[in-house]
Chain A
């Protein structure tokens, strides 16, 4: 079981969700975050004062999948999120020790 975290541009969320659904991954948590990689902030202008906005809005997607779905998930996320421009984001894959479904008490691969 693996957890896949992806930081993407907010307006690409719908595309990513659709791509994941196409490969039958539909359990997902999203959060609105801020940050930047090597992308410079953009500037905003208020009455002649320029502000460099350092932390850009991003969306973080978290999904937990069984091992055989990992590559499919990665491909789906890349297809959905990529624009080719700076700031597209990153994907992180990490091992998961245990998964439990609260309602039924199921554990392991069945709970994923």
Chain B
């Protein structure tokens, strides 16, 4: 069982298999892991917390921290096994791994994943799982019960995230992996997944009281901007770390992960100026995040022009999602997890088919690598977004209802919502201003 898992791992790692530990790769993967960890309890928490009304800002931060710690623990307990081990049934292996590595059973401290410790790989992937579920919190700020959220996180990471990660990255026998879907660092697995889960929750939990009537002003755009900067910094670990080595591919990801978001920010500012005659800081950092999301599935596959296009169009798509679509359809995806993460991730995932460089040293197995067939690759990308989308949609609905049932309802009562969750739920306040 262990040998099979290691084999699946070695095959799932898109680099030349090595049995020997490389200290450069190891150091880089360790730093990448730490960078991605920082993205959740610091980056995302500040990004979201700053956009929340003052009376709920601490609760938003707490939802993100809660998502990280519970998500990561569930990853170690069961998530890793279900995502990256091999299921004994070939049919099930298409969708999900097995229970071989429950609580990391069967894994030794000196096992390697390619050229660096397997334990580092496990932790690295765990930070991805945690941030994916944390993304969804932004859609349901200011009204979800904390207990329900924590239970939701615990189940969702295992029941929804792990299978999706398996299907795309899980190695031989995993359906989308075999089909040759290209998702360098998680455009589908993380961003489309988390963003859509957020939308589902937003609809199931319901809109905030007073939406569009009461002014719901962000507590601090500066904290949000600081959060965005930390996300950008950490994203180098997210994308370049997904090269799984200190190598040229990671170097390419450094270029794309810095260039696309910068372009996206400029585009967002221009769109704001055209639409509102005003450029805002929130717009600039929203553009940065949109660009980061859009380049995530493509970070190690495209060149500088590809990054430019992905960043620019990603920004346009996300801008429309936030400013147009949300108003039109009327859902309360409060912090635009769907608008930015899902839509920009979707764009990036599909664009990869046409913008990935035809260089077999960069590409993963698939129609583009084998036959140079971009249309066939596009169809595979399309298939992957549809399958991931459908799995998340259905899975999130089910998990939410279970979590709500276990905690007696997912939404806080009216008075709690009016007073604010910081005081009512946590008995804490974010700032004590004398």
In the assembled complex, the CB of A94 is this many whole angstroms from the nearest CB of chain B, namely 32
**Chain A interface extent, by class:** 10 to 19
Q: Which of B11-19, B23-31, B213-221 makes up part of the contact surface?
A: B213-221
Contact B323 A47 (CB under 8 A): yes
Interface residues of B in 199-215 (CB under 8 A from A): 215
Chain B interface main SS type: helix
Q: Which residues of A contact B215 (CB under 8 A)?
A: 51-54
In the complex, which residue of chain B has the Cβ closest to the Cβ of A41?
B215
In the assembled complex, the CB of B283 is this many whole angstroms from the nearest CB of chain A, namely 7
Q: Which one of B51, B216, B221, B323 contacts A48 once the chains associate, using CB atoms below 8 Å? A: B323
Instruction: Tell me whether B322 is interfacial, beta carbon within 8 Å.
Output: yes
In the complex, which residue of chain B has the Cβ closest to the Cβ of A53?
B215
In the assembled complex, the CB of B200 is this many whole angstroms from the nearest CB of chain A, namely 21
A45–B278 Cα distance when bound, in Å, is 9
Q: Which residues of B contact A51 (CB under 8 A)?
A: 215-217
Q: Which residues of B contact A48 (CB under 8 A)?
A: 275-276, 322-324, 326-327
A54–B275 Cα distance when bound, in Å, is 23
Instruction: Tell me whether B115 is interfacial, beta carbon within 8 Å.
Output: no
In the assembled complex, the CB of A28 is this many whole angstroms from the nearest CB of chain B, namely 23
* Chain B interface residue count, Cβ-Cβ cutoff 8 angstroms: 19
Q: Interface code B314-330, partner A: CB below 8 Å = 1, 0 otherwise?
A: 00000000111011000
Instruction: Tell me whether B105 is interfacial, beta carbon within 8 Å.
Output: no
Q: Interface code B173-212, partner A: CB below 8 Å = 1, 0 otherwise?
A: 0000000000000000000000000000000000000000
Instruction: Tell me whether B344 is interfacial, beta carbon within 8 Å.
Output: no
Contact A47 B217 (CB under 8 A): no
Instruction: Tell me whether A32 is interfacial, beta carbon within 8 Å.
Output: no
In the assembled complex, the CB of B29 is this many whole angstroms from the nearest CB of chain A, namely 35
Q: Which residues of B contact A47 (CB under 8 A)?
A: 282-283, 286, 322-323, 336
Q: Which residues of A contact B283 (CB under 8 A)?
A: 47
Q: Which one of B275, B282, B324, B326 contacts A46 once the chains associate, using CB atoms below 8 Å? A: B282
In the complex, which residue of chain A has the Cβ closest to the Cβ of B327?
A48
Instruction: Tell me whether A71 is interfacial, beta carbon within 8 Å.
Output: no
Q: Which one of A45, A52, A53, A54 contacts B280 once the chains associate, using CB atoms below 8 Å? A: A45
In the assembled complex, the CB of A41 is this many whole angstroms from the nearest CB of chain B, namely 9
A45–B322 Cα distance when bound, in Å, is 13
Contact A44 B282 (CB under 8 A): no
A86–B217 Cα distance when bound, in Å, is 25
Q: Interface code A34-60, partner B: CB below 8 Å = 1, 0 otherwise?
A: 000000000011111101111000000
Contact B322 A46 (CB under 8 A): no
Contact A46 B276 (CB under 8 A): no
Q: Which residues of A contact B323 (CB under 8 A)?
A: 47-48
Interface residues of B in 275-308 (CB under 8 A from A): 275-276, 278, 280, 282-283, 286
Q: Which residues of A contact B217 (CB under 8 A)?
A: 44, 46, 51
In the assembled complex, the CB of B327 is this many whole angstroms from the nearest CB of chain A, namely 7
B residues adjacent to A (C-beta < 8 A): 51, 215-218, 221, 275-276, 278, 280, 282-283, 286, 322-324, 326-327, 336
A residues adjacent to B (C-beta < 8 A): 44-49, 51-54
| Further contacts, 7 of them, CB under 8 A, given A47-B336, A49-B216 | A44-B217, A46-B282, A48-B275, A51-B215, A51-B217, A53-B215, A54-B215
21 pairs of residues in contact across A and B, judged by CB atoms under 8 Å: A44-B217, A45-B276, A45-B280, A46-B51, A46-B217, A46-B221, A46-B280, A47-B282, A47-B283, A47-B286, A47-B322, A47-B323, A48-B275, A48-B276, A48-B322, A48-B323, A48-B324, A48-B327, A49-B216, A51-B216, A53-B215
